[in-house]
Amino acid sequence: MFKTGDLIIYSTHGVCRIDDISDMTVAGETKSYYTLHPINNAQKLQISIPVDSDKVMMLTLLEAKEAKEILESFRSPGVEWNPHPNNRNREFLNVVHSGNRHEIAQVINTLARRQSEALLLNKKLYEQDRKILENAKTILVKELSLALELSEEIIDQQIAAYLSEEPVATT
């Protein structure tokens, strides 16, 4: 169980702070709820989630060691490219929703490399791919910056540097 003040990763909202844990009555049923907000949300979005919910994914923030491993993973070639946009979109969204940061990083890696290739050809990345890249990368970069105590700009620069290197195949 999380406690008030904890930073967590919540679904597609990214890094959130737990503001309160209190009992609420919804539809005649009283339960304990987390009240949280995304830390990068200017509109002060407030989210309430039942403490005992098994439908909602809330994860603790990465430790520095794992964050370094994930950052280094941008040196690898990423995941296999599915040429069918709808299937690829489904696969990539499943990875993003899984919460596995190592796999999410590899999806971001692949999409970022494809975006660079497209730009060299004066083309654009498929819109669904671009949205996944943008949203997943924003959340991951924020989490890496918190875990490594570095600015988001430095994390972005490091990822860009790794992506510009020749990928190192892993076995």
Q: What is the pTM of this model?
A: 0.86
Q: What's the pLDDT score for residue 43?
A: 61
Q: What's the pLDDT score for residue 10?
A: 86
Q: Burial of 110 by CB count in 10 Å (0-12 exposed, 13-18 middle, 19+ buried)?
A: buried
Q: What's the pLDDT score for residue 119?
A: 94
Identity of the amino acid at 45: L
* Average pLDDT, rounded, for the chain: 91
Share of the chain above pLDDT 70, in %: 96
Q: Is the pLDDT of residue 171 over 60?
A: no
Q: What's the pLDDT score for residue 115?
A: 96
Structural domains of the chain, ranges and CATH numbers in brackets? 7-60 (2.40.10.170), 64-164 (1.20.58.1290)
Section 97-105 average pLDDT: 93
- Which helix (H) or strand (E) is 7 found in, with range? strand 7-10
Angstrom distance (rounded) from CA 46 to CA 166? 43
Section 45-52 average pLDDT: 90
Q: Which residues contact 84 (CB under 8 A, 6 or more apart)?
A: none
Output the DSSP codes for 8-68: EEEGGGEEEEEEEEEEEEETTEEEEEEEEEETT-TT---EEEETT-SSS-EEEPPPHHHHH
Q: Is the pLDDT of residue 28 over 60?
A: yes
**pLDDT range class, residue 123, cuts 50, 70, 90:** very high
More reliable by pLDDT, 169 or 97: 97
